[in-house]
Structure 1
Amino acid sequence: MKTMANRGLPNRGLRGLAACLLVWAFGLGSAQAAGLQVTDDRGVTVRWDAPPQRIVTLLPSLTETVCELGQCHRLVGVDRYSNWPASIAALPRVGGGIDPNVEAIVALRPDAVLLAQSSRVVQRLEALGLKVVALEPKSHADVQRVLGKVAQVLGVDAQATQRIWRHIDAAVSAAAQSLPARVKNTRVYFEVNRAPYGAGTSSFMGETLTRLGVQNILPASLGPFPKLNPEFVVRANPDVIMVGDRNFEGMTQRPGWRSIRAVREERLCVFPNDESDVLVRPGPRMAEAARLMARCLQEKAP
């Protein structure tokens, strides 16, 4: 009886091992079948068998995010406005986010196209069989979320995104701490387009201003980037105005604007194009944007 029992043990062990191997193989097959999937800002779930290796981006902040995650080498085409980092200079340009060259994009045979949710060509690209991920950050929380979504698309470890976000968040806090007490509560207007459109309190730029301890003349109720009646700014009478060089021409000639304190006392920060690009892109260079705003406030706040 003892001998029979001993003979049975190896058989049961082998059967158990075989069962474990079968479960493992089934699990591996299921994982491979499931592949990679990401739900974009439209609520659409996009799937791949493996992380995409040929990527086209149609928004500068998304281009910068891909590169910040160390995956610049996967980019095969970018929009006409993407200009950072320098390593992407030789990449094919496929138009803008609003007016991309669909034929040029298809010719690049991308595994994934990353673009803004507001882009007009999403459905057309999908109809041509391309995998499209629509992502459009507008707030600090959005920047963190989109960083994570792009990392998912790329198959990058989530810990990398956490490290990047912690660095951004800490740098914005450091910029705020660098400001002298006299700057606090300065009333600021940031013009993002000469229409004019301003950066509201609920925008990522407005959130940065709030963290720097100043007051945005545009309330959150107006939305992230409201179009304004120029008279509104005159009545608000900001202490400091921030604007990119592209949008500065003619600003001080608007009716009544010479009476604005910021204009009258020459408290305007006119950012050159390279700095303006940093400021208006909700991406990984948001920490640098905070430092630029802080520098402006140190120099111009009353």
Structure 2
Amino acid sequence: MMRRRCLLLRLFLAALLAPLAAQAGDVTDDRGRTVHFAQPPVRIVSLLPSLTETVCALGQCQRLVGVDRYSNWPDAVRKLPQVGGGLDPSIESIVALKPDAVLLSVSSRASERLEALGIPVVALEPKTHADVRRVLGAVGQLLDVPPAEGAERVWRVIDAGVQAAAQSLPAHARGVRVYFEVSRGPYAAGSTSFIGETLSRLGVRNVVPPELGPFPRLNPEFVVRAQPDVLMVGNRSMQPLVMYPGWDGMAAVRTGRICVFDPDDADVVVRPGPRMAEAARTMARCLADKAP
């Protein structure tokens, strides 16, 4: 009798917990779609460098079987097969890798074609500090990494690192006005971008107001009128730094208050992901050196 009751109790608990187990593999992405995984994926293709870095920061680099051509950190991912650009990758190359899941940006044109082939797609695109924290949690859930060991731990390191960088800034650099160019155009990092949020936490002012959006294309004359104290250039396209018309008259240009980040540093400062603390330290060093 007692055995039968124990058996019934176990069956009851199993039935009660089954829906929870089924939901454990559900991830809602930035398209608002809920993607179900019966088991955590073990073969992952990542088509966005910040997502590649997030997987590795969570200690799961070994699950990556392919990446986009721009994913280059940590060093281990450089040895993986590259499947083209993140926006328009080679579908054939991805299929050949037999992934359980593909991580990509919302703007990628590959989503529908991959889903039509039966390959689960999770679209995540961090744009702010809060997004980075949320995406860490979503990827950690997808990979079945306990939050305390994964997403929460990584975020604490990021947050503490940004705060430490802010505290390291010398008094003469606080409150200076900064212009940050992310690519030729000029395309700038606005106040509402993750770069703008980092600058704000460092205690400096962004000359690009929030109403222009996170990454607006500006008229070069706008920057001339703004007269920033320091210019930062994180242009990963490797295009040479060429002054726009009128820029040679700016005090920051005449006095050399410009930081042009090399390709490795540019990768760090323009990616919203686990290396944001390093990005904050890089920007803090620039400010300490170039602020008037």
TM-score using structure 2 length: 0.96
| Alpha-carbon distance between aligned partners in 1 of 2:21 and 2:202, rounded to the nearest angstrom | 47
Does residue 143 of structure 2 align to residue 136 of structure 1?
A: no
Shift of 1:248: 6.1
Shift of 1:121: 1.5
Q: Decide which moves more: 20-29 or 264-273.
A: 20-29
Does residue 83 of structure 2 align to residue 94 of structure 1?
A: yes
Match of 1:207 in 2: 197
* SS of aligned partner of 2:102: strand
One-letter amino acid of the counterpart of residue 236, structure 1: A
Shift of 1:291: 0.1
Label 1:73 to 1:263 Cα distance change in 2 as closer, same or farther (>3 A).
Answer: same
Match of 1:243 in 2: 233
Does residue 51 of structure 2 align to residue 57 of structure 1?
A: no
| Alpha-carbon distance between aligned partners in 1 of 2:188 and 2:8, rounded to the nearest angstrom | 64
After superposition, the CA RMSD in angstroms is 1.4
Does residue 253 of structure 2 align to residue 263 of structure 1?
A: yes
1:79·1:100 contact (CA, 8 Å) conserved in 2?
Answer: yes
1:126·1:132 contact (CA, 8 Å) conserved in 2?
Answer: yes
| 1:189-219 deviation line (CA, Å, top 9, x unaligned) | 0000101100000000000000001010001
Label 1:33 to 1:293 Cα distance change in 2 as closer, same or farther (>3 A).
Answer: closer
Label 1:228 to 1:51 Cα distance change in 2 as closer, same or farther (>3 A).
Answer: same
| 1:95-153 deviation line (CA, Å, top 9, x unaligned) | 11112001100111100000001111211111111100000000000000001111111
Percent of aligned pairs with the same amino acid: 63
Match of 1:75 in 2: 64
One-letter amino acid of the counterpart of residue 267, structure 1: R
Does residue 29 of structure 2 align to residue 17 of structure 1?
A: no
2:180·2:234 contact (CA, 8 Å) conserved in 1?
Answer: no
Match of 1:145 in 2: 134
| Alpha-carbon distance between aligned partners in 1 of 2:169 and 2:124, rounded to the nearest angstrom | 33
In structure 1, stretches of 5+ residues that fail to align are: 1-10
| 1:5-53 deviation line (CA, Å, top 9, x unaligned) | xxxxxx3x44432321221332454455555110000000000111000
1:57·1:115 contact (CA, 8 Å) conserved in 2?
Answer: yes
| Alpha-carbon distance between aligned partners in 2 of 1:260 and 1:36, rounded to the nearest angstrom | 54
| Alpha-carbon distance between aligned partners in 1 of 2:252 and 2:21, rounded to the nearest angstrom | 60
2:48·2:105 contact (CA, 8 Å) conserved in 1?
Answer: yes
> Equivalent of 1:121, from 103, 107, 110?
110
One-letter amino acid of the counterpart of residue 53, structure 1: V
* SS of aligned partner of 1:158: coil
Note the 1:118-197 alignment, pairs <5 A: 118-159=107-148, 160-197=150-187
Label 1:94 to 1:290 Cα distance change in 2 as closer, same or farther (>3 A).
Answer: same
| Alpha-carbon distance between aligned partners in 2 of 1:274 and 1:243, rounded to the nearest angstrom | 13
2:233·2:260 contact (CA, 8 Å) conserved in 1?
Answer: yes
One-letter amino acid of the counterpart of residue 57, structure 1: S
TM-score using structure 1 length: 0.93
Shift of 1:279: 0.4
| Alpha-carbon distance between aligned partners in 2 of 1:136 and 1:101, rounded to the nearest angstrom | 20
